[in-house]
Amino acid sequence: MLDLVAREKSASAPTAVRSMYTAAVDNGDGYHLLYNTLTGAFLKVPSHLVKFLLTKPKTRLPIDDLDGFQRRLFQDGFLVPSDADESRRARLQYDARFNDRRRLELILLPHENCNFRCTYCYEVFARNKMEPWVREAIKRYVLSRARDLQLLEVAWFGGEPTLAPDVIGELSLAFRDICDQIGARYTAQITTNAYRLTPELSRRFVKEYGMKQFQITLDGTPEEHDKKRHLAKGGATFDRIYQNLSAMRDIEGDFTAIIRINFDLETAQRMQNFISRIADDFADDGRFIVHFFPISKWGGTGTDSLPVCDANVGRALKYELLEKAVDRGFGSRIRKEIRPMGTACYAADPNSYIIGADGRIYKCTVAFTDPRNQVGRITRDGTLDIDIDKFGLWVVNDGITDHNCQSCFFNPSCGGMACPLWRMESGESPCPTVKQEFPHALRLLAKEMAHESRVLEEAVLTGVAAGKEPSVGTNSRNVAFVPLSSVTSRESLSGSVD
């Protein structure tokens, strides 16, 4: 009888299993890297401690009997209750963000022409500066959302947005004013070639217009960059951009400048010297990070003559270059890419609209001429006049009925929404490249965070030596101290979109 009671008790005792969203990567040094795509938890742990997760992933562990380390895995979501409905949990995370009407993302095109003609560019430069009535209409639309708005995220895009700094100024001040009045948070970012981003303008962007992120492209050494990224009327651009970028170091304030470096097979081979140059000039300022991108056939007529990399080679080179940059002290975008919901495209987000210079509304920044992407217009009174069927093509186009997506470990990052355009065109699951690169990505993240820990330890030691409290200022990336050698460390990589 007693035996029966004991057996019944053990049959009903709650158990834990490995989460379907736990990824494990051998770091090659006796450690494994664990990442949970739903919670964003990241750990570097001695391999022997997680052998049970790797060799017997279906093992059920009685929750009451978990040891200290296993309990930590449970808290961070690497282990979950055996009866957890994880797909539903991932779905809830998306719904909480995408169905949140208190948030609004506007991608604005203040000028649709460009002062550059890059060889690989796909844009058609059909229009110029945003018309005054469109600006007024956008302000009216934002005002009309004031009752429930809590977060306004603006991204300035083009063409080249700095061809219309007055439009950016007028709308930024209006948005900040509205947000101040209603107690909403305002944040902005800009993708710019930076040729016209004078020191005075970048200072104004940060200090007055709430710009928190800049993406600026430099395609290698001056000679290589100038071959690909030249002025529309002809002429070199590297030196001016580099001066403007360097001047941003003097701005006091909290922003991130992503230096995007597009490479092909040839330029990748000669990148070491360029990495050294930018590391000497920027790597000690944690606000500057780098991102490498293999050039592919993006649609520009000039790509036919470029030695573009095939996907596998491009991926290997990208991480080789990123590692070199991280070794020189740079941070990367990797943690943002792999975080929960980090790779779902804004085109799939029902709270995100692109508004063009003539008031057209789009969803995708890559297919402006595609009629499916011209989903509506803003009217003079600030109403968004949307073709709901076209809009639905983008926002009801996820992985919910896609078998690949439902069983995919990367679902909480992508949701099957990494590229609605790709799904429409091909009918296939639009897996983001970072999923294919996941082992590389985790190893890079471990390296980057180990470097951050070292820097922080140095800062602490310097502070102690100088008899003062160590500070984590705006020039530091060390907001999260993660001693990777410790199994008790964790960083949540989730956060607001910037």
Compute how many other C-beta atoms are within 10 angstroms of the C-beta atom of residue 473: 10
Residue among 429, 453, 478, 489 that touches ligand SF4 (CB under 6 A): 429
Q: Does 404 bind ligand SF4 (CB under 6 A)?
A: yes
Cβ at position 429, least distance to ligand SF4 in Å? 4
Token digits of residue 261: 């470096």
DSSP string, 37-104: TTT--EEEEEGGGGHHHHH-TT--EEGGG--HHHHHHHHTTSEEETT--HHHHHHHHHHHHHT-TTEE
Question: Judged by CB under 6 A, does residue 431 bind ligand SF4?
Answer: yes
Taking the C-alpha atoms of residue 109 and residue 128, their distance in angstroms, rounded to an integer, is 9
| Range in contact with ligand SF4 (rule: CB under 6 A) among 23-31, 247-255, 416-424, 479-487 | 416-424
What is residue 182's three-state secondary structure? helix
Task: Give the residue, chosen from 53, 218, 355, 419, that forms a contact with ligand SF4 under the rule CB under 6 A.
Answer: 419
To ligand SF4, the closest distance from the beta carbon of 364 in angstroms equals 3
3-state helix, strand, coil in the chain (%, to 5): 40, 15, 40
399 binds ligand SF4 (CB under 6 A): yes
User: Which CB, 224 or 398, lies closer to ligand SF4?
Assistant: 398
The Cα–Cα gap between 212 and 317 comes to: 29
Q: Which of 184, 216, 259, 408 binds ligand SF4 (CB under 6 A)?
A: 408
Interface region with ligand SF4, contact rule CB under 6 A, candidates 151-159, 184-192, 252-260, 396-404: 396-404
Selected binder of ligand SF4 within 90, 241, 421, 484 (CB under 6 A): 421
Q: Check if the beta carbon of residue 74 is closer than 8 Å to that of residue 118.
A: no
**Closest approach of Cβ 414 to ligand SF4, in Å?**
3
- Per the CB < 8 A criterion, the answer to whether 265 and 308 are in contact is yes
Nearer to ligand SF4, 366 or 460 (CB): 366
Among 25, 405, 444, 493, binds ligand SF4 (CB under 6 A): 405
- Closest separation in Å from C-beta 206 to ligand SF4: 26
The phi, psi pair for 154, rounded to 5°, reads -115, 135
> Stretches 100-108, 249-257, 418-426, 480-488: which one binds ligand SF4 (CB under 6 A)?
418-426
> What are the residues facing 112 on neighbouring strands?
none
Q: Which of residues 348-387 bind ligand SF4 (CB under 6 A)?
A: 364-366
- Please identify which residue in 19, 411, 478, 489 interacts with ligand SF4, judged by CB under 6 A: 411
Nearer to ligand SF4, 70 or 373 (CB): 373
Residue of 359, 430, 442, 448 that binds ligand SF4 (CB under 6 A) = 430
Q: What is the DSSP string of 226-269?
A: HHHS-BTTS---HHHHHHHHHHHTT--S--EEEEEEEE-HHHHH
* Interacting residues of 454 by C-beta distance below 8 A, sequence separation 6+: none
Question: What is the helix (H) or strand (E) element at residue 191, kind and residue range?
Answer: strand 185-192
As measured in angstroms, the least distance from the Cβ of 423 to ligand SF4 is 8
Instruction: Name the pairing type of β-strands 15-18 and 61-62.
Output: antiparallel
**CB 353 → ligand SF4: shortest distance, Å?**
13
Number of residues in contact with ligand SF4 under rule CB under 6 A = 23
Q: Which is nearer to ligand SF4, 259 or 405 (CB)?
A: 405
CB of 405 within 8 A of CB of 399? yes
Q: How far is the CB of 319 from ligand SF4 (least distance, A)?
A: 18
* Rounded Cα–Cα distance for residues 487 and 50 (Å): 11
Contacting ligand SF4 within 282-311 (CB under 6 A): none
Which residues, 313 to 352, sit near ligand SF4 by CB under 6 A? 345, 347
Choice from 418, 482, 487, 493 touching ligand SF4 (CB under 6 A): 418
Can you read off the two tokens belonging to residue 7?
Answer: 């057996």
Beta carbon of residue 251, minimum distance to ligand SF4 (angstroms, whole number): 29
Cα-based distances in Å from 126 to 108, 190, 291, 358, 362: 15, 20, 29, 10, 15
Q: Is 416 in the site for ligand SF4 (CB under 6 A)?
A: yes
* Of 278 and 345, CB closest to ligand SF4: 345
CB of 92 to ligand SF4, least distance (A): 16
41 touches ligand SF4 (CB under 6 A): no
Which DSSP letter does residue 288 get?
A: E
State which of residues 435, 440, 443, 490 lies at the interface with ligand SF4 (CB under 6 A).
435
> Concatenated DSSP letters for 86-153?
HHHHHHHHHHHHHT-TTEEEEEE-SB---SB--TT--------BPPHHHHHHHHHHHHHTTTT--EEE
| Residue 473 backbone zone (phi > 0: left; psi -120 to 50: alpha; other: beta) | beta
CB 217 within 8 A of CB 195: no
Nearer to ligand SF4, 254 or 428 (CB): 428
Cβ-based nearer residue to ligand SF4, 110 or 416: 416
User: 165 vs 399, which CB is nearer to ligand SF4?
Assistant: 399
Please report, as ranges, the residues that interact with ligand SF4 according to CB under 6 A: 345, 347, 364-366, 399, 402, 404-405, 408, 410-411, 414, 416, 418-422, 429-431, 435
